[in-house]
């Protein structure tokens, strides 16, 4: 039995009986990370790097969903690295998933350039740093561009993914113009894009993007992904992405967020 620290809990990931350790007092993964794991495509034998992995949710889910060979999660916060490493061990994935402590801005000194087939990232969404009282708290680091910027993430992804390799990111629609400019600047050609809407009649609040390093220009906008059918009721596609074979009668609040 895995020994938990204060305020930690173990959540079921509904994939191959995998579980994850989380601490609600610091930070828990959100739906955006799960949707990114459903959007990203990893082929058999490929090597994957997740930038800013946090709890390790994306590498663990991608290992469960794909036939990739090895998955690495890069995370700067020591406590998150330690907790994510315990989640990897809890699932018996030590030979498939590695958690590495390091700064996204210095990742090109930690890994060989152009060495990954796939790079993923669920980066901080919010630019503003003024007025932040706890700039280095885990939740602040996860949500605000305190330790790295959007440009840092895209620049690093471009340097570490192979030519022809794929970079997957989830972000907010209002930053799409900036995202497109930076992807082009760092030679990552946008190839697939999908907007995520909370309800069919609401504006999107997330966007999923696939780009290819040195890819040819051709962007496909996929059908929108709708989260809720009605208040408190997810769509079938959301349940499927979370790993439910059928609609559950009671969804764990700790996992479906």
- CA gap 119, 186 in Å, rounded: 14
- CA gap 85, 99 in Å, rounded: 6
For the chain (257 residues), the mean pLDDT of every run of 10, in chain order, is: 90 96 93 97 98 97 98 96 98 98 96 98 77 60 74 97 98 97 98 98 98 98 97 93 79 41
**Confidence at residue 47, expressed as pLDDT on a 0 to 100 scale:** 98
Q: Residue 46: exposed, middle, or buried by beta-carbon count in 10 A (0-12, 13-18, 19+)?
A: buried
Query: Using CA atoms in the order 86, 107, 148, 83, what is the torsion angle rounded to 10 degrees?
Result: 0
**Confidence at residue 64, expressed as pLDDT on a 0 to 100 scale:** 98
Give pTM, 2 decimals.
0.92
Task: Select from 162, 175, 173 the least CA-distant residue to 119.
Answer: 162
Topology (CATH) of 15-242: Rossmann fold (3.40.50)
């Amino acid at each position: 039995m895995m020994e938990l620290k204060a305020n930690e809990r173990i959540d079921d990931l509904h994939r191959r009986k995998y579980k994850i350790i989380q601490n609600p007092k610091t930070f828990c993964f959100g739906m955006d990370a799960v949707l990114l794991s459903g959007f990203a495509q990893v082929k058999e034998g490929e090597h994957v790097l997740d930038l800013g992995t946090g709890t390790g949710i994306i590498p663990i889910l991608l290992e469960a969903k794909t036939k990739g060979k090895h998955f690495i999660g890069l995370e700067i916060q020591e406590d998150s690295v330690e907790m994510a490493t315990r989640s990897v061990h809890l699932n018996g994935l030590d030979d498939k998933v590695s958690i590495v402590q390091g700064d996204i801005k210095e990742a090109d000194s930690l890994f060989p350039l152009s060495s990954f087939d796939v790079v993923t990232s669920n980066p901080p969404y919010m630019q503003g740093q003024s007025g932040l009282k706890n700039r280095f708290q885990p939740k602040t680091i996860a949500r605000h561009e305190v330790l790295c910027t959007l440009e840092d993430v895209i620049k690093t992804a471009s340097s570490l993914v192979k030519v022809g390799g794929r970079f997957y990111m989830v972000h907010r629609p209002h930053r799409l113009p900036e995202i497109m400019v930076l992807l082009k600047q760092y030679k990552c050609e946008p190839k697939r894009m999908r907007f995520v809407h909370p309800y069919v009649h609401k504006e999107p609040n997330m966007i999923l993007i696939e780009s290819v390093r040195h890819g040819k220009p051709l962007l496909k906008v996929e059908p929108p992904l709708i989260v809720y059918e009605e208040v408190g009721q997810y769509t079938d596609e959301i349940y499927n992405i979370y790993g439910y074979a059928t609609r559950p009668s009671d969804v764990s609040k700790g996992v479906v967020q």
